[in-house]
Amino acid sequence: MTEVLLPQPSEGPGFVQLLTPEGQRVEHPDYALDISDDEIKSLYRDLVMVRRIDTEATALQRQGQLGLWASLLGQEAAQVGAGRALTERDFAFPTYREHGVAYCKGVDPVTLLGLFRGASQGGWDPNENGFGLYTIVIGSQTLHATGYAMGIQRDGGDGAAMAFFGDGATSQGDVNEAFVWAGSFNAPIVFFCQNNQWAISEPVERQSHIPLYRRAEGFGFPGVRVDGNDVLAVLAVTRAALARAREGSGPSLVEAYTYRMAPHTTSDDPSRYRLAADLETWKLKDPVERVKAYLSRHGVADASFFADVSAAADELAAHVRAACIEMADPEPLSLFDHVYAGGSSLLDEERAGMAAYLASFEGESPAAAKLNVGAH
């Protein structure tokens, strides 16, 4: 057998970094970023808030308040960088892990938790914040984003679409079809791939032996690899890609090179497939710490700033926790709501049947409930 898994070099020509892991600003010829210290402070704040939401959600899952949680730990810079590059005109199509983008887009984290709690399938209005529904079937949303971008071309809008997806997703037919379509129609879209090195237990080398950003070349548009743990670099690169899209120059692919520091989801056990040592290496590149280092080193922020941010994060976490725990279960009959915009005689009949059935118990609880049968 001749199969080989080559390690992908993380850096190399074109790897965009503007802030080193040590918190040092560096320049990149193609991606100058003119940014004030206040802006960097506000980015820092977002990073902290997003991490705090994530920690709280993980805790809520452990306590049985959520059925599942997909942590973004380690990917905060990638998501805040991209999320902050997006303007109101732009529309984001997320996977199930874009809590940081959701935050930047103004989506209440509690709404996201509804899905992981099992109280809804998402349920928010994508058009309210330009933030699409979480999409679990790997890659599907990249085609939605491409279609949306084709819609912008057709109604004369001036925004762009951004499709989020992971390294694993690059193997799906849908993602590659999205590349074909975006290229063919020169659609105003940015493909934003968070290469967090893992698709559950599979290393990115199972999907590709060459860096993922290079996939774009063969479809006729540019790809770039950016340090996904560097919020400044991600912001700069994503802004440039969005500007390109908005001005009619077509799609591009941004590969944010990062690391999934948590298990795939709370159901996962990464000790079965990866070394704890890798995690240590990546901790040195922590996306939040490096901004903190920059702010401290340059005297831009003092202890009180960090304390304020921390307090605000705790406050948000408390809100999230309280709202999550209070979240009511849906009514059984709500099963039938929103299947169709225009209703359906079949559903009307089924709903009536279920209502009559439920009514037949009249106070006395069904045997299944008593026996606790079927509840796992």
Ligand X SMILES: Cc1ncc(C[n+]2csc(CCOP(=O)(O)OP(=O)(O)O)c2C)c(N)n1
CB neighbours (10 Å) of residue 296?
A: 15
- Tally of CA atoms within 13 A in the half-sphere of 285 that contains its CB: 23
Q: Choose the one of Mg ion, another protein, a second copy, none that binds residue 220, judging by a C-beta under 5 to 8 angstroms depending on kind.
A: a second copy
Site string for ligand X, 169-208 (x = CB under 6 A): x--------------------------x-xxx--------
Q: Measured on CA atoms in the order 66, 71, 77, 81, is the torsion positive or negative? A: negative
> Minimum distance from CB of 209 to ligand X (Å)?
16
Residues 192-221 that bind a second copy (CB under 8 A): 206-210, 214-220
At how many degrees (to 10) do helices 231-246 and 76-85 cross?
A: 30
Of the candidate residues 94, 114, 132, 166, the single one contacting Mg ion (CB under 5 A): 166
Of the candidate residues 45, 99, 260, 321, the single one contacting ligand X (CB under 6 A): 260
Question: What is the residue type of 222?
Answer: P
Of the candidate residues 1, 359, 373, 375, the single one contacting a second copy (CB under 8 A): 1
Is 154 part of the annotated catalytic residue set?
no
Is 260 part of the annotated catalytic residue set?
yes
Q: Choose the one of another protein, ligand X, Mg ion, none that binds residue 97, judging by a C-beta under 5 to 8 angstroms depending on kind.
A: ligand X
> Minimum distance from CB of 52 to another protein (Å)?
23
Helix (H, G, I), strand (E, B), or coil: what is residue 148?
A: helix
- Show the 3-state SS of 222-280: CEEEEECCCHHHHHHHHHHHHHHHHCCCCCEEEEEECCCCCCCCCCCCHHHCCCHHHHH
Examine residue 10 and tell whether it contacts a second copy (CB under 8 A): no
> Minimum distance from CB of 221 to a second copy (Å)?
9
Is 264 part of the annotated catalytic residue set?
yes
Examine residue 326 and tell whether it contacts another protein (CB under 8 A): no
Spatial separation of the C-alpha atoms in residues 189 and 90, rounded to whole Å:
9
Nearer of residues 19 and 95 to ligand X, judged by Cβ: 95
Spatial separation of the C-alpha atoms in residues 6 and 216, rounded to whole Å:
20
Examine residue 336 and tell whether it contacts another protein (CB under 8 A): yes
Residues annotated as part of the active site: 260, 264, 273
